[in-house]
Structure 1
Amino acid sequence: MIPIRTDVQVYRRQPVVLMLLGVNILVFVYQATLGPREGFLLAVEWALVPRRYADPFWAVRVGLDPNDYRPLLTNIFLHGGWLHLIANMWTLWLFGRAVEERMGQLRFALFYLLSGVLASWAHMAVYAGSQVPALGASGAIAAVLGAHITLHPKSRVLLLIPIIIIPLILPVSTWAYAGVWFALQLLQGAGDLFTPDMGGGIAWWAHIGGFVAGLGLVRFLAPPDPRDLWRQPPI
């Protein structure tokens, strides 16, 4: 399922979303200039390697600082390929602007970064023994999707569903889209629970943790919709 449009109107440019898009693209361009060895070293140092924190003795032995928790944040600005980057940035653009418009710039920036860290913690909790560097903005963007459906529960999204050579374009409620997406993450994540040391290639539990974090944090960081306040009867 590829979301291509939502029916939520955004009336102003949202600078934090634009800044996040720019930073992620610039970081990826820098990654692309590195050779295989330099790229691997960058990923090991700045992406999230769960065993680095679960097994400090191993971390020290391989030259990593187990007391440096910056990768829980920095990993959300790294990507493993162009398709990974494009999919994440498109989803951020599609759903993030309406969330930033409701939250405001500072609160949305805090929401995005905090959600990314919480998603990283969720991944690290499940894949504690993994030595695979986890990277990507998917956890933070899952939080944006959770915030979007909370703030705009009646919104709809237009989906492109490629079926062999005949693309199907289908309008559905954003809740339905998010529900199917979340169910797929749970299904894949539940499978990884049985072999956590083998997992970590795709951060299913970062997606799950980010989505749940978004559902929770948005209630503290998003102000009420003025239109909802106007509709309330006088006390």
Structure 2
Amino acid sequence: MFPIRDENPTIRPPVATIALIALNILVWVFVQGAGSELPLVKSLCLYSLIPGDLFHHAPPGTTLEMTQDMVCSLDGRSGIPTLITHAFLHGSWFHIISNMWFLWIFGDNVEDAMGIPRFLIFYFLCILAAAFSQIMADPAALSPMVGASGAIGGVMGAYARLYPRAYVHTLIPLGFFITTAAIPAIYMLGYWFLIQFISAIPAVGGGVQIAFWAHAGGFVAGLILIGPLHRQDYLEERNRMEPDKTAKYRL
């Protein structure tokens, strides 16, 4: 299922959400060369998260074959910053467009319940939670991990807890046909989490190229972190804006 839009108005402009989308796009264009092979490979070599390198499981002199003609040496990499930098890198146009679309659909409403400073703290905590979820699945992995998906999973977890009955208009593929439906967020996002979790189970110990544990871990982190980081006065403001709603926003 792919979200098109949601029926969930905001009160405050999504400044932080827009800034994060802009930062990801700037990195994609100016650091990763908009997908050009050489800058893309170089960015993955320098700034992606490689668990086996972070925890020094890889012996000195280890190299990774990035393409048929390019290798990446793990010697001299600065591992700790990659816990954050990896979340602003992407592997393809589809990767960044889909991630930024999900962030746009769900980020504005989550930011609306927090305000700018809390939302940015929340987002970076979700990056770390997602990273460590993937690392724990295979601490010796040498596959580069990139993408904002884990942090966006956190945004989706927060959205599911904040606005479970908000309708999300979604594309649904049915074989050769594609239809649309307005689905309550709790079902659409719950289905997304279930798929990530089921897909992650065979990934323990490696062998899967998609960071499913990061997605699932980020989602759970978002569910938890929205509790202490939301602003109840902002949710009460939503209640006053929509007085006819039977389900009030309160955590």
TM-score of the superposed pair, with normalisation by structure 1: 0.89
1:139 aligned to which of 136, 150, 156:
150
CA drift of 1:55 comes to 2.8
Contact 2:3–2:171 (CA under 8 A) maintained in structure 1: yes
User: Does residue 101 in structure 1 map to residue 102 in structure 2?
Assistant: no
Within a 5 Å distance, the mapping from 1:186-197 to structure 2 comes to: 186-193=197-204, 196-197=205-206
User: Does residue 169 in structure 1 map to residue 180 in structure 2?
Assistant: yes
1:158 aligned to which of 138, 156, 169:
169
TM-score of the superposed pair, with normalisation by structure 2: 0.84
Secondary structure at 1:168's aligned position in 2? strand
Counting matched residue pairs gives: 229
User: Does residue 226 in structure 1 map to residue 236 in structure 2?
Assistant: yes
User: Does residue 198 in structure 1 map to residue 207 in structure 2?
Assistant: yes
CA drift of 1:33 comes to 5.4
Residue 42 of structure 1: aligned partner: 43
CA drift of 1:35 comes to 5.4
CA 1:149–1:57 in structure 2 vs 1: closer, same or farther (change >3 Å)? closer
Secondary structure at 1:58's aligned position in 2? coil
> 2:12 & 2:110 partners in 1: Cα distance?
12
Residue 80 of structure 2: aligned partner: 69
CA drift of 1:37 comes to 4.3
Structure 2 residues not aligned, in runs of 5+? 63-72
> 1:218 & 1:13 partners in 2: Cα distance?
19
Residue 6 of structure 1: aligned partner: 6
> 1:147 & 1:64 partners in 2: Cα distance?
38
Residue 216 of structure 1: aligned partner: 224
Higher helix share: 1
Query: Identical aligned pairs, as a percentage?
Result: 32
What are the Cα deviations for residues 32-86 of structure 1, in whole angstroms up to 9, with x where unaligned?
A: 2575344323212211101012335626754445763110111000000111101
> 1:29 & 1:87 partners in 2: Cα distance?
16
CA drift of 1:187 comes to 1.0
Residue 22 of structure 1: aligned partner: 22
CA 1:216–1:189 in structure 2 vs 1: closer, same or farther (change >3 Å)? same
Contact 1:130–1:198 (CA under 8 A) maintained in structure 2: no
Secondary structure at 2:113's aligned position in 1? helix
Secondary structure at 1:103's aligned position in 2? coil
CA 1:85–1:59 in structure 2 vs 1: closer, same or farther (change >3 Å)? farther
Contact 2:33–2:39 (CA under 8 A) maintained in structure 1: no
Contact 1:53–1:59 (CA under 8 A) maintained in structure 2: no
Structure 1 residues not aligned, in runs of 5+? none
